[in-house]
Homo-oligomer: A and B are copies of this chain.
Amino acid sequence: MAKNFKNDAITSRDENFAQWYTDICRKAELMDYSNVKGFIIYLPYGFAMWEQIKNFMDKRFKETGHSNVYMPMLIPESLLQKEKDHVEGFAPECAVVTRGGTNELEDPLIIRPTSETLFSELYAKQVKSYRDLPKLYNQWCSVVRWEKTTRPFLRGSEFLWQEGHTVHATEEEAREETLRMRDIYVETCRDLLAIPLITGRKTEKEKFAGAEETYTIEALMHDGKVLQSGTSHYFGQGFAKAFDIKFLDKDNKQKYIYQTSWGASTRLLGAIIMVHGDDNGLVLPPRVAPTQVVIVPIQSQKPGVLDKAYEVKAQLEKAGIRVSVDDSDKSPGFKFAEAEMKGIPVRIELGPRDIEAGHCVVAKRNDGTKTTVDLNDDLANTVLKTMDIIHEEMYAKAEEHLRTHITETNDYSQFGEILDTKGGYIKTNWCGDQACELKVKEDYQATSRCYEPDEASDDAVCPCCGKKAKHIIYYARAY
């Protein structure tokens, strides 16, 4: 039964990765399409994963001194135009409100594609003295960017995210903040999502519109393509000067503030799917799983079976585990396959014979292994430990995949074959010229993902142009 359900349900991952991805999004009931292109519906199961991510990150933001606020959804077109680089980056993607109520608007309003301009305007009002600094605000909201090609969670005309915006008295503090928030993204991926990363700086070409520096976290998907999964920007004083955000410092001088912003979005749901999923469906890291344990009663019509299932549920819930009993009238095989499709980390099988013998079967979604475990007071602890093991195993597997898909080479003629056959990252040297980045993109459809400044060895040369190299850089094909 389970087999049939599986095979009918989704395309094989290696046969057609894109179709496999879409199949999981739909069959695991993560999302649905709406009638407006690029605008998706986050269904309960997908949204519950986002709630877990949100709770995890929000706690860390608050622990590091940030407060949540909510800024208007609409930005006057004239305001968006105040920072030159910023508006050039976003203008082509804007959704524009031209009518409000019964009136045509004189100054059209843009649905926020991001809120740097609004935060800058607010900070210009709020910040007068060094005593007002730093200001550390964050907001959870959706943003709209008119995209031509869209895919669930990966690229949409509307997506959910958080955007943090901070202003500081000194460059040093602002730079520390930029890295601190990048590190919280790394931590979220590692400790919640079991996703290892490459991190570094974006090149001039790839950085955020208006930023002086952009730090990125890049995750490697199963198909060898890469997903930018969060960014943290150091703005220097660009917005400060455009919006006149000044303060009176301790030395009695008027100074411009230093600014950052940082964002992570529902793209992370795409990362979870494509890093961990398999041909049977989603495979969820336990800490982000909306349901961590499903109890499947076997021969549930036999007396005592369902009661025992509910008893075990209560026991696990008491230990803080998110658990459900599948007491529907479907067959156990069908239930197994459904739980696999949804990626539920732990399945507990419980039949009359198990109950008689005083045990149950604990099956791990990530590797399919089954263990017989005693039905006693220690069960919840065993399950908690099992979930930690699953997390570690999933992280280790993803890390191994990442490690074996970073190819170090300085031989430009090899780039195409590496990208075509195994994918992943090419780690190489870079002279620092944008021309070489563009050449890689032109020749191999790969983009620079990030670089480490000044890390190239003394005798290193850029594989594209042969000139002296300055940096280590990672190229990859990306979503």
Q: Which residues of A contact B (CB under 8 A)?
A: 32, 34-36, 39-44, 47-48, 50-51, 67-76, 79, 92-102, 108-109, 111, 118, 121-122, 125, 137, 141-142, 144, 146, 148, 157-158, 160
Contact = CB atoms under 8 A, between A and B. Distances in A.
Can you list the 5 inter-chain pairs with the closest CB atoms, starting with the nearest?
A: A101-B146, A44-B67, A39-B72, A96-B99, A42-B70
Contact of A69 (B41, B75, B99, B125): B41
A71 B33 CA distance: 10
Give the oligomeric copy count.
Answer: 2
A94 B98 contact: no
A39 B146 contact: no
A73 B111 contact: yes
12 contacts: A34-B71, A36-B76, A41-B72, A44-B68, A47-B69, A51-B68, A92-B102, A94-B99, A95-B101, A96-B98, A96-B99, A97-B97
Contacts of A47: 67-70
A98 B94 CA distance: 11
A95 B68 contact: no
Nearest to A126: B32
Contact of A70 (B70, B118, B160): B160
Contacts of A36: 72, 74-76, 109
A74 to B, nearest CB: 5
Given A36-B76, A79-B35, A70 B41 contact: yes
A99 B95 contact: yes
A201 to B, nearest CB: 29
A121 B69 CA distance: 32
Contacts of A41: 69-72, 118, 122
Given A41-B70, A137-B44, A32 B99 contact: no
A381 B192 CA distance: 35
A148 B70 CA distance: 22
Contacts of A68: 44, 47-48, 51
A248 to B, nearest CB: 16
A101 B98 CA distance: 13
Contacts of A48: 67-68
A73 B43 CA distance: 15
Contact of A95 (B34, B70, B74, B146): B74
Nearest to A143: B73
